[in-house]
Structure 1
Amino acid sequence: MPPFDVPEGDPFGPHNLPYGVFTPPGGTARTVGVRLGAHVLDAGAAALALGSPYASLLARPTLNPLLAAGRTAWSDVRRALTAWVTVPSHREAVAGMLHPLSEVRLHLPFEVADYVDFYSSEHHARNVGQIFRPDAADSLTPNWKHLPIGYHGRAGTVVVSGTEVVRPSGQRKAPTDPDPVFGPSVRLDIEAEVGFVVGTPSPLGRPVPLSAFRDHVFGLCLLNDWSARDVQAWEYVPLGPFLGKSFATSVSAWITPLDALDEARVAPPARTHPLLPYLDDSGPEEEPGGYDLRISVAVNGHVVSEPPFATMYWTAAQQLAHMTVNGASLRTGDLYGSGTVSGPGARERGSLLELTWNGREPLRLPGGERAFLQDGDEVTLTAWAPGPDGARVGLGEVSGRVVPGA
């Protein structure tokens, strides 16, 4: 089938066009590309060949120049790319710039400036509370319904899908152990999340309001926040996650622009507590802040969970508003994670911690039971969202295989 003729129902048709960075077959240089079905269009080469004024943004080894260009440029570039792959008069000029996806090498699509992760699923937070505080009157912490809880991660260990994840070592101490020990984590876990990529920066000292979310956030991707639960449990009091999280965070090679997800926008769950003005999204002028993303989590090719992103209590716009309300600035390439996505059902939990109820109810997989991940296990997240005219918008998968530590 010719590369322009994407099969009907393909979630990576011209209605989607996610951005990535790749090396063409036989090449060594990196360049910006967009995915079309089972092919990748060299967007930089196409822009140069067609005399596009945005060639300087696309003929680059990273998405950061495009991210920094702002919302008007994002919209203009998307319109141009759509025309290049759908208008017959452009086919001859760009046909040679389409490469089979199976023959290219994909890279981390942008330079990560900073990384923040949130804790915004009520179902996840309640599950965690019930696991670790079973006698508490409320499984949520007192602040949970008043602000999006988050922590700062490590930008330098964000890796692209397909990168092996080395089992981390660290201190751990079980409640019954007299002293901590050092060694490889024995409770390695995953967290199925969605990552949001910041394009336009903001000045230091100026908060970003809810209404400016789409002016600053370029798009989203799937994200796996790998977690060493035993290391995390010993270290997190009183300052929160550190080495139990910072060893690796995997993201998809494809960034889906927000403009491709207009049909997937939904209202978030009903708020049960009044919100302070900077987080209040209940006004009639506010656009729906949630996204209907259907995620699947597979371990060694076996689907173990299907978390629904539409159930997330705190939205990406609220998260952005909260992390800048103190005047913290945004930088191009900032990445922030939604937090683990979990739904109300037992097969809608986004971490092994929840799926196995802290190891007490192991998963039964074709290769044997799993409480937490073993060396050699591969975890793959995939997702899709409703698109125009009944189409599906595919999000690029994120996968990683666990390998033994040194």
Structure 2
Amino acid sequence: MPESWLDIAPDSPFGLHNLPYGVFSEPGDPGPRTGVAVGAHVLDLGAAARAAGSPFADAVSGPSLDGLLAAGRPVWEQVRATVLRWLTDPAREEGVRPHLIGRDRVRMHMPFTVGDYVDFYSSEHHATNVGRIFRPDSAPLTPNWKHLPIGYHGRAGTVVPSGAPVVRPCGQRKGPDDPAPVFGPSRRLDIEAEVGFVVGAPSRRGGRVPVGGFADHVFGAFLVNDWSARDLQAWEYVPLGPFLGKSFATSVSPWVVPLQALEAARVEPPVRDPEPLEYLRDAKDEPWGLDLALEVRINGHVVARPPFAQMYWTPAQQLAHMTVNGASVRTGDMYASGTVSGPEPGQRGCLLEMTWGGREPLKLPDGSERAFLEDGDTVAISATAPGPEGSVIGFGEVTGSVRPAEE
């Protein structure tokens, strides 16, 4: 990789091997615009493209990533190669530098317009722990779990950007010994550390996206906190699944890391037993397991470091399953991995697991304990991946603070 004329710290998570996309504004701006994170700066991509007369200028000049997502893989690759050339060719410095803004000066926004939203349940460790918590006398995994990626359709309208407050939800709850349900604020508010994927190029209704077509349709990855009201969820989810316990808020990180930046992070997924049906088998020599290291913090204190490389079902398999019945995907559709958890206690991606259903509360440095979240708590999830030449690919973080219920 050629060196940049821009001063970028060698250990920057937003180095030249990354170049993630987001939507930003500055104080006094007329509106949000598309940017690329590079070192301690944001490149105003639309302004730079217009100044250079780039053919993709219109696609990257809107107030969201929607135009770039819809442009398709050849344009994605062209934009990335062009930005890299701008930042490494000394002859381009004079034209590009005026379009660089310090990242500490910008405000980040939702990166794209969310279409449909699907959430999966693809960590064997998470699913096994949940099964043991709720069904201690039965097999922890349901009979279908190792045959297909289980998922549900979420609510796109309550996907919110990082930093947006999360109001404690109200709803019905009923404990196992309660004679009848009651209404009120959730008492078991939880998080789920996940990785999300956004669709760029749509698929045809009635068609299918094979596992090998993943990179032709999915633009990139980002972080997700799927906030969950466990008490509301427990009472409502039989027999149809998550509803109000999930739909009040889902937070996403501001930077979308393009799939091209994750090539060095691709790994073989865990061994599948039994072997999945043909449409779910990994494409030959094209594994889409990803070696991402997540970190979860509550009020600044690290409570877990979940490993994404151990996810049983990959994002390529999730997309293949999501479309195998002929359902189409559209530009801006997003789907999330499900809670990321590993085999060790310090690798669990939600409080339900960390506290074993609330029976083993976490102890925080200030002496307080948490079985589930309290009002005023702030949760931050970050992640990194290995890049080429020893570099680190950063995802930034997704954050949210809990506000009291509005009763």
Counterpart in the other structure of 2:321 = 322
Q: Distance in 1 between matches of 2:82 and 2:374?
A: 46
Q: Deviations over 1:28-53 (max 9, x none)?
A: 21110000122111000000011110
Counterpart in the other structure of 2:354 = 355
Q: Distance in 2 between matches of 1:331 and 1:290?
A: 23
Counterpart in the other structure of 2:190 = 189
Alignment of 1:397 with 2:397, yes or no, is yes
Q: Distance in 2 between matches of 1:278 and 1:147?
A: 10
Secondary structure of 1:57's aligned partner: helix
Q: Distance in 2 between matches of 1:128 and 1:54?
A: 47
Cα RMSD, aligned residues only: 1.1
Q: Deviations over 1:61-101 (max 9, x none)?
A: 11011101111110000001111122211111111111111
Offset of 1:117 from its aligned partner?
A: 0.2
Counterpart in the other structure of 2:307 = 308
Q: Distance in 1 between matches of 2:275 and 2:388?
A: 34
Q: What are the residue-to-residue correspondences of 1:202-241 with 2, within 5 Å?
A: 202-241=203-242
Q: Deviations over 1:325-356 (max 9, x none)?
A: 00000000000000000000000000000000
Q: Deviations over 1:171-212 (max 9, x none)?
A: 000010011011110100000000000000011100111111
Offset of 1:24 from its aligned partner?
A: 2.6
Q: Distance in 2 between matches of 1:108 and 1:3?
A: 30
Counterpart in the other structure of 2:343 = 344
Secondary structure of 2:163's aligned partner: coil
Residue 331 of structure 2 aligns to which amino acid in structure 1?
A: T
Q: Distance in 2 between matches of 1:173 and 1:328?
A: 36
Counterpart in the other structure of 1:264 = 265
Alignment of 1:98 with 2:97, yes or no, is no
- Contact 1:3-1:39 at 8 Å conserved across structures: no
Q: Are the structure 2 counterparts of residues 31 and 265 from structure 1 closer, same or farther at C-alpha, using a change threshold of 3 Å?
A: same
- Contact 1:211-1:286 at 8 Å conserved across structures: no
Counterpart in the other structure of 2:51 = 49
Q: Deviations over 1:241-260 (max 9, x none)?
A: 00000000000000000000
- Contact 2:5-2:87 at 8 Å conserved across structures: no
Counterpart in the other structure of 1:129 = 131
Counterpart in the other structure of 1:377 = 377
Structure 2 gaps of 5+ residues are: none
Offset of 1:14 from its aligned partner?
A: 1.2
Offset of 1:15 from its aligned partner?
A: 1.1
Residue 189 of structure 1 aligns to which amino acid in structure 2?
A: D
Offset of 1:3 from its aligned partner?
A: 9.0
- Contact 1:189-1:372 at 8 Å conserved across structures: yes
Counterpart in the other structure of 1:144 = 145
Q: Distance in 2 between matches of 1:314 and 1:85?
A: 37
Secondary structure of 2:62's aligned partner: coil
Secondary structure of 1:41's aligned partner: strand
Counterpart in the other structure of 2:276 = 275
Residue 334 of structure 1 aligns to which amino acid in structure 2?
A: D
- Contact 2:233-2:244 at 8 Å conserved across structures: yes
- Contact 1:305-1:347 at 8 Å conserved across structures: yes
Residue 83 of structure 1 aligns to which amino acid in structure 2?
A: R
Q: Distance in 2 between matches of 1:87 and 1:3?
A: 7
Alignment of 1:62 with 2:61, yes or no, is no
Q: Distance in 1 between matches of 2:207 and 2:285?
A: 21
Q: Distance in 1 between matches of 2:86 and 2:361?
A: 50
- Contact 2:270-2:311 at 8 Å conserved across structures: yes
- Contact 1:3-1:98 at 8 Å conserved across structures: no
> Percent same amino acid among aligned pairs?
65
Counterpart in the other structure of 1:252 = 253
Secondary structure of 2:179's aligned partner: coil
Secondary structure of 1:33's aligned partner: strand
Q: What are the residue-to-residue correspondences of 1:99-114 with 2, within 5 Å?
A: 99-114=101-116
- Contact 1:161-1:253 at 8 Å conserved across structures: yes
- Contact 1:255-1:396 at 8 Å conserved across structures: no
Offset of 1:274 from its aligned partner?
A: 2.2
Q: Distance in 1 between matches of 2:119 and 2:232?
A: 18
Structure 1 gaps of 5+ residues are: none
- Contact 2:5-2:89 at 8 Å conserved across structures: no
Residue 163 of structure 2 aligns to which amino acid in structure 1?
A: G
